[in-house]
Amino acid sequence: MPCLVTVGGFFGDEGKGKIIAYLAKKDNPTIAVRGGVGPNAGHTFTFNGKEHKVRMLPSAILNPSTRLLIGAGVLVNPKVLLSEISQFNTEDRTYVDSQCGIIEQQHIDRDKSEDHLKGKVGTTGTGTGPANSDRAFRTLKMAKEIPELSLYIEDVSNSVNYALDARENVLVEGTQGTYLSLFHGGYPFVTSKDVTASAICSDVGIGPKKVDEVLAVFKAYVTRVGGGPLQNELDEQEAKKRGWLEFGSVTGRQRRAAPFDMELAKKAVRINSASQLAVTKLDVVFPETAGMRDYGKLPDMARKFIEEIEGETGVRVTLIGTGPELDDVIDRR
Protein backbone atom coordinates (compact mmCIF):
# COMPACT_ATOMS: atom_id res chain seq x y z
CA MET A 1 0.00 0.00 0.00
CA PRO A 2 1.84 3.12 -1.19
CA CYS A 3 0.17 5.60 1.21
CA LEU A 4 -1.07 4.67 4.68
CA VAL A 5 -2.33 7.38 7.04
CA THR A 6 -2.33 6.47 10.74
CA VAL A 7 -4.52 8.42 13.15
CA GLY A 8 -5.56 8.16 16.79
CA GLY A 9 -9.12 7.04 17.41
CA PHE A 10 -9.67 8.29 20.96
CA PHE A 11 -7.89 11.02 22.99
CA GLY A 12 -4.31 10.24 22.02
CA ASP A 13 -2.26 7.74 24.04
CA GLU A 14 -3.57 4.89 21.86
CA GLY A 15 -0.16 3.40 21.11
CA LYS A 16 0.33 4.91 17.65
CA GLY A 17 4.10 5.07 18.19
CA LYS A 18 4.35 1.30 18.56
CA ILE A 19 2.16 0.71 15.51
CA ILE A 20 4.14 3.17 13.35
CA ALA A 21 7.45 1.68 14.51
CA TYR A 22 6.19 -1.82 13.74
CA LEU A 23 4.96 -0.83 10.26
CA ALA A 24 8.24 0.94 9.51
CA LYS A 25 10.15 -2.22 10.35
CA LYS A 26 7.71 -4.60 8.65
CA ASP A 27 6.81 -2.67 5.47
CA ASN A 28 10.08 -0.78 4.91
CA PRO A 29 8.57 2.54 3.75
CA THR A 30 10.71 4.95 1.73
CA ILE A 31 9.31 7.87 3.72
CA ALA A 32 7.69 8.31 7.12
CA VAL A 33 6.20 11.79 7.37
CA ARG A 34 4.72 13.38 10.45
CA GLY A 35 1.64 15.55 10.61
CA GLY A 36 -0.16 16.74 13.73
CA VAL A 37 0.53 19.49 16.21
CA GLY A 38 4.09 19.47 17.58
CA PRO A 39 6.18 18.37 20.56
CA ASN A 40 3.13 18.18 22.82
CA ALA A 41 2.66 14.61 21.55
CA GLY A 42 5.02 11.88 22.68
CA HIS A 43 5.28 8.47 21.06
CA THR A 44 6.81 5.53 22.93
CA PHE A 45 7.81 2.06 21.74
CA THR A 46 10.11 -0.74 22.89
CA PHE A 47 12.55 -2.77 20.80
CA ASN A 48 14.76 -5.53 22.19
CA GLY A 49 13.94 -4.42 25.71
CA LYS A 50 14.96 -0.79 25.14
CA GLU A 51 12.33 1.93 25.38
CA HIS A 52 12.42 4.74 22.82
CA LYS A 53 10.55 8.05 23.02
CA VAL A 54 10.12 10.71 20.34
CA ARG A 55 8.31 14.04 20.37
CA MET A 56 9.34 15.54 17.03
CA LEU A 57 10.68 12.79 14.77
CA PRO A 58 8.38 10.22 13.19
CA SER A 59 8.25 6.93 15.09
CA ALA A 60 9.91 5.14 12.16
CA ILE A 61 13.38 6.03 13.48
CA LEU A 62 14.54 2.42 13.89
CA ASN A 63 14.43 1.70 10.14
CA PRO A 64 17.73 3.16 8.84
CA SER A 65 16.50 3.21 5.22
CA THR A 66 13.39 5.31 5.92
CA ARG A 67 13.59 9.07 5.36
CA LEU A 68 12.03 11.00 8.26
CA LEU A 69 10.05 14.07 7.22
CA ILE A 70 8.03 16.68 9.13
CA GLY A 71 5.15 18.31 7.28
CA ALA A 72 4.48 22.04 7.01
CA GLY A 73 1.51 21.89 9.37
CA VAL A 74 3.63 20.72 12.30
CA LEU A 75 5.10 23.05 14.91
CA VAL A 76 8.80 22.49 15.58
CA ASN A 77 10.76 23.14 18.74
CA PRO A 78 14.32 23.28 17.32
CA LYS A 79 15.93 22.24 20.62
CA VAL A 80 13.77 19.13 20.89
CA LEU A 81 14.21 18.24 17.21
CA LEU A 82 17.99 18.68 17.15
CA SER A 83 18.31 16.70 20.36
CA GLU A 84 16.37 13.78 18.85
CA ILE A 85 18.32 13.92 15.58
CA SER A 86 21.52 13.61 17.59
CA GLN A 87 20.15 10.94 19.93
CA PHE A 88 18.96 8.66 17.13
CA ASN A 89 21.73 9.55 14.67
CA THR A 90 19.35 10.55 11.86
CA GLU A 91 21.28 13.59 10.56
CA ASP A 92 21.42 12.26 7.00
CA ARG A 93 17.71 11.36 6.68
CA THR A 94 15.71 13.96 8.62
CA TYR A 95 14.03 16.82 6.77
CA VAL A 96 11.71 19.60 7.86
CA ASP A 97 9.39 21.58 5.64
CA SER A 98 10.51 25.19 5.25
CA GLN A 99 7.07 26.37 6.39
CA CYS A 100 6.92 24.50 9.68
CA GLY A 101 6.09 26.96 12.45
CA ILE A 102 8.65 27.47 15.19
CA ILE A 103 7.99 27.26 18.93
CA GLU A 104 10.07 29.76 20.88
CA GLN A 105 10.58 30.13 24.61
CA GLN A 106 7.99 32.91 24.78
CA HIS A 107 5.34 30.46 23.54
CA ILE A 108 6.24 28.00 26.28
CA ASP A 109 6.13 30.77 28.88
CA ARG A 110 2.73 31.93 27.66
CA ASP A 111 1.39 28.39 27.62
CA LYS A 112 2.39 27.84 31.24
CA SER A 113 1.16 31.22 32.47
CA GLU A 114 -2.25 31.24 30.79
CA ASP A 115 -4.76 30.09 33.42
CA HIS A 116 -7.24 29.16 30.69
CA LEU A 117 -4.78 26.86 28.89
CA LYS A 118 -2.79 25.29 31.70
CA GLY A 119 -5.49 25.37 34.36
CA LYS A 120 -8.88 24.90 32.73
CA VAL A 121 -8.05 23.11 29.48
CA GLY A 122 -5.05 21.23 30.88
CA THR A 123 -2.53 21.73 28.06
CA THR A 124 0.93 20.17 28.06
CA GLY A 125 2.66 23.54 28.52
CA THR A 126 4.89 22.93 25.49
CA GLY A 127 3.95 26.17 23.71
CA THR A 128 1.90 24.66 20.90
CA GLY A 129 -1.32 26.57 21.57
CA PRO A 130 0.28 30.05 21.69
CA ALA A 131 2.44 29.19 18.66
CA ASN A 132 -0.57 28.15 16.60
CA SER A 133 -2.31 31.32 17.77
CA ASP A 134 0.62 33.35 16.43
CA ARG A 135 0.49 31.40 13.20
CA ALA A 136 -3.14 32.43 12.75
CA PHE A 137 -2.05 36.05 13.33
CA ARG A 138 0.74 35.58 10.72
CA THR A 139 3.46 36.51 13.19
CA LEU A 140 5.04 33.08 13.76
CA LYS A 141 8.59 32.37 12.62
CA MET A 142 9.05 29.67 9.99
CA ALA A 143 11.65 26.89 9.93
CA LYS A 144 13.37 28.51 6.94
CA GLU A 145 14.26 31.47 9.20
CA ILE A 146 16.14 29.34 11.75
CA PRO A 147 19.88 28.95 10.94
CA GLU A 148 20.26 25.79 13.05
CA LEU A 149 17.71 24.03 10.83
CA SER A 150 19.19 25.07 7.48
CA LEU A 151 20.73 21.63 6.80
CA TYR A 152 17.36 19.94 7.27
CA ILE A 153 15.08 22.15 5.17
CA GLU A 154 13.15 20.52 2.32
CA ASP A 155 9.88 20.91 0.43
CA VAL A 156 8.19 18.00 2.17
CA SER A 157 5.02 18.06 0.08
CA ASN A 158 7.07 17.75 -3.11
CA SER A 159 9.09 14.88 -1.67
CA VAL A 160 6.04 12.94 -0.49
CA ASN A 161 4.10 13.43 -3.72
CA TYR A 162 7.12 12.46 -5.82
CA ALA A 163 7.48 9.25 -3.82
CA LEU A 164 3.78 8.44 -4.17
CA ASP A 165 3.85 9.08 -7.93
CA ALA A 166 6.73 6.58 -8.08
CA ARG A 167 4.55 4.06 -6.17
CA GLU A 168 6.90 4.03 -3.21
CA ASN A 169 5.60 3.20 0.27
CA VAL A 170 4.84 6.27 2.38
CA LEU A 171 3.80 6.11 6.02
CA VAL A 172 1.91 9.20 7.23
CA GLU A 173 1.92 9.56 11.01
CA GLY A 174 -0.75 11.49 12.88
CA THR A 175 -0.53 12.63 16.48
CA GLN A 176 -2.97 13.16 19.34
CA GLY A 177 -6.40 11.61 18.80
CA THR A 178 -9.68 12.26 17.01
CA TYR A 179 -11.40 13.65 20.11
CA LEU A 180 -8.63 16.16 20.77
CA SER A 181 -9.39 17.76 17.40
CA LEU A 182 -10.10 21.48 17.62
CA PHE A 183 -13.15 20.93 15.42
CA HIS A 184 -14.38 17.43 16.29
CA GLY A 185 -13.34 17.01 19.92
CA GLY A 186 -14.95 18.12 23.18
CA TYR A 187 -14.22 21.84 22.84
CA PRO A 188 -12.60 23.61 24.68
CA PHE A 189 -10.76 20.56 26.04
CA VAL A 190 -8.94 20.00 22.77
CA THR A 191 -5.61 20.69 21.09
CA SER A 192 -4.98 23.80 18.99
CA LYS A 193 -5.79 22.38 15.54
CA ASP A 194 -7.60 19.57 13.76
CA VAL A 195 -5.83 16.19 14.03
CA THR A 196 -8.15 13.91 12.06
CA ALA A 197 -6.93 12.06 8.96
CA SER A 198 -7.98 14.86 6.60
CA ALA A 199 -5.96 17.40 8.57
CA ILE A 200 -2.92 15.12 8.77
CA CYS A 201 -2.94 14.89 4.97
CA SER A 202 -3.16 18.67 4.75
CA ASP A 203 -0.25 18.98 7.19
CA VAL A 204 2.06 17.00 4.93
CA GLY A 205 0.67 18.35 1.66
CA ILE A 206 -1.09 15.42 -0.02
CA GLY A 207 -4.57 15.36 -1.53
CA PRO A 208 -7.25 12.81 -0.56
CA LYS A 209 -6.91 10.80 -3.79
CA LYS A 210 -3.29 10.01 -2.89
CA VAL A 211 -4.35 8.05 0.22
CA ASP A 212 -4.73 4.28 -0.13
CA GLU A 213 -5.54 3.30 3.46
CA VAL A 214 -6.46 5.02 6.73
CA LEU A 215 -5.55 3.11 9.88
CA ALA A 216 -7.35 4.25 13.05
CA VAL A 217 -5.59 3.16 16.24
CA PHE A 218 -7.56 2.38 19.39
CA LYS A 219 -6.40 1.13 22.77
CA ALA A 220 -8.31 -1.74 24.38
CA TYR A 221 -9.46 0.83 26.96
CA VAL A 222 -9.65 4.63 26.87
CA THR A 223 -7.29 7.11 28.51
CA ARG A 224 -6.88 10.86 28.37
CA VAL A 225 -4.88 13.55 30.14
CA GLY A 226 -6.04 17.05 31.04
CA GLY A 227 -9.59 18.26 31.39
CA GLY A 228 -12.74 17.31 29.53
CA PRO A 229 -15.42 14.63 29.66
CA LEU A 230 -14.60 10.93 29.84
CA GLN A 231 -17.56 8.57 29.71
CA ASN A 232 -17.60 5.89 32.46
CA GLU A 233 -14.36 7.18 33.96
CA LEU A 234 -12.84 4.92 36.60
CA ASP A 235 -11.51 6.20 39.90
CA GLU A 236 -7.78 5.92 40.50
CA GLN A 237 -8.08 2.84 42.70
CA GLU A 238 -10.09 0.89 40.12
CA ALA A 239 -7.80 1.96 37.27
CA LYS A 240 -4.79 0.79 39.25
CA LYS A 241 -6.49 -2.51 40.07
CA ARG A 242 -7.10 -3.16 36.37
CA GLY A 243 -3.58 -2.14 35.39
CA TRP A 244 -4.87 0.86 33.45
CA LEU A 245 -3.08 3.52 35.49
CA GLU A 246 -0.74 5.30 33.06
CA PHE A 247 1.28 8.49 32.85
CA GLY A 248 1.77 10.80 29.87
CA SER A 249 5.08 10.47 27.99
CA VAL A 250 5.53 14.25 27.59
CA THR A 251 4.30 15.70 30.90
CA GLY A 252 4.31 12.67 33.19
CA ARG A 253 0.75 13.51 34.20
CA GLN A 254 -1.53 10.70 35.29
CA ARG A 255 -3.92 9.58 32.59
CA ARG A 256 -7.59 9.18 33.37
CA ALA A 257 -9.01 5.80 32.35
CA ALA A 258 -12.30 4.28 31.20
CA PRO A 259 -13.51 1.11 29.44
CA PHE A 260 -13.46 0.90 25.63
CA ASP A 261 -16.07 3.28 24.20
CA MET A 262 -17.76 1.74 21.17
CA GLU A 263 -19.76 4.86 20.28
CA LEU A 264 -16.60 6.99 20.16
CA ALA A 265 -14.92 4.29 18.08
CA LYS A 266 -17.74 4.22 15.54
CA LYS A 267 -17.73 7.99 15.16
CA ALA A 268 -13.94 8.06 14.81
CA VAL A 269 -14.18 5.51 11.99
CA ARG A 270 -16.69 7.75 10.18
CA ILE A 271 -14.77 11.00 10.69
CA ASN A 272 -11.48 9.51 9.51
CA SER A 273 -12.84 7.20 6.77
CA ALA A 274 -10.88 4.42 8.46
CA SER A 275 -10.34 1.38 6.26
CA GLN A 276 -8.35 -0.58 8.87
CA LEU A 277 -8.21 -0.62 12.66
CA ALA A 278 -5.46 -1.36 15.16
CA VAL A 279 -6.18 -2.27 18.77
CA THR A 280 -3.26 -1.95 21.19
CA LYS A 281 -2.66 -3.22 24.74
CA LEU A 282 -5.02 -6.16 24.41
CA ASP A 283 -2.75 -7.87 26.93
CA VAL A 284 -3.58 -5.26 29.58
CA VAL A 285 -7.30 -6.07 29.41
CA PHE A 286 -6.73 -9.78 28.74
CA PRO A 287 -3.39 -10.66 30.42
CA GLU A 288 -3.40 -14.19 29.04
CA THR A 289 -2.85 -12.73 25.53
CA ALA A 290 0.57 -11.27 26.42
CA GLY A 291 3.11 -11.76 23.66
CA MET A 292 0.71 -13.64 21.37
CA ARG A 293 1.25 -13.28 17.61
CA ASP A 294 -1.35 -15.74 16.32
CA TYR A 295 -4.99 -14.61 16.22
CA GLY A 296 -6.23 -18.19 16.26
CA LYS A 297 -4.66 -18.75 19.67
CA LEU A 298 -6.43 -15.84 21.38
CA PRO A 299 -8.77 -16.86 24.22
CA ASP A 300 -12.48 -16.68 23.43
CA MET A 301 -13.17 -13.49 25.42
CA ALA A 302 -10.36 -11.59 23.69
CA ARG A 303 -11.44 -12.76 20.25
CA LYS A 304 -15.05 -11.83 21.04
CA PHE A 305 -13.88 -8.33 22.04
CA ILE A 306 -12.10 -7.86 18.70
CA GLU A 307 -15.03 -9.27 16.74
CA GLU A 308 -17.43 -6.92 18.52
CA ILE A 309 -15.32 -3.93 17.49
CA GLU A 310 -15.34 -5.17 13.90
CA GLY A 311 -19.08 -5.82 13.96
CA GLU A 312 -19.98 -2.44 15.43
CA THR A 313 -17.63 -0.35 13.27
CA GLY A 314 -17.83 -2.39 10.07
CA VAL A 315 -14.03 -2.23 9.72
CA ARG A 316 -11.51 -5.04 10.13
CA VAL A 317 -9.00 -5.01 12.96
CA THR A 318 -5.78 -5.76 11.08
CA LEU A 319 -3.20 -5.13 13.83
CA ILE A 320 -3.45 -6.14 17.50
CA GLY A 321 -0.86 -5.16 20.09
CA THR A 322 -0.23 -7.83 22.71
CA GLY A 323 2.74 -6.41 24.60
CA PRO A 324 5.26 -3.58 24.82
CA GLU A 325 7.82 -5.10 22.44
CA LEU A 326 7.72 -3.90 18.83
CA ASP A 327 7.00 -7.39 17.49
CA ASP A 328 4.32 -8.21 20.06
CA VAL A 329 1.74 -7.78 17.31
CA ILE A 330 -0.87 -9.97 15.68
CA ASP A 331 -0.70 -8.91 12.03
CA ARG A 332 -3.88 -9.93 10.19
CA ARG A 333 -3.28 -7.93 7.01
So which residues are the catalytic ones? 13, 43
d(CA 132, CA 40): 12
**DSSP secondary structure of 225-268:** -SSS--TTPPPHHHHHHHT---B-TTT-PBPEEEE--HHHHHHH
Contact 125, 115 (CB under 8 A): no
DSSP 153: E
d(CA 146, CA 75): 13
Q: Radius of gyration of the chain from Cα atoms?
A: 19
Burial of 327 (0-12, 13-18, 19+ CB in 10 A): middle
d(CA 239, CA 248): 15
**Residue in 108, 112, 134 with CA at minimum distance from that of residue 121:** 112
**Residue in 248, 254, 250 with CA at minimum distance from that of residue 235:** 254
Name every residue whose Cβ is closer than 8 Å to that of residue 328 and which is 6 or more positions away in sequence. 283, 290, 291, 292, 293, 321, 322
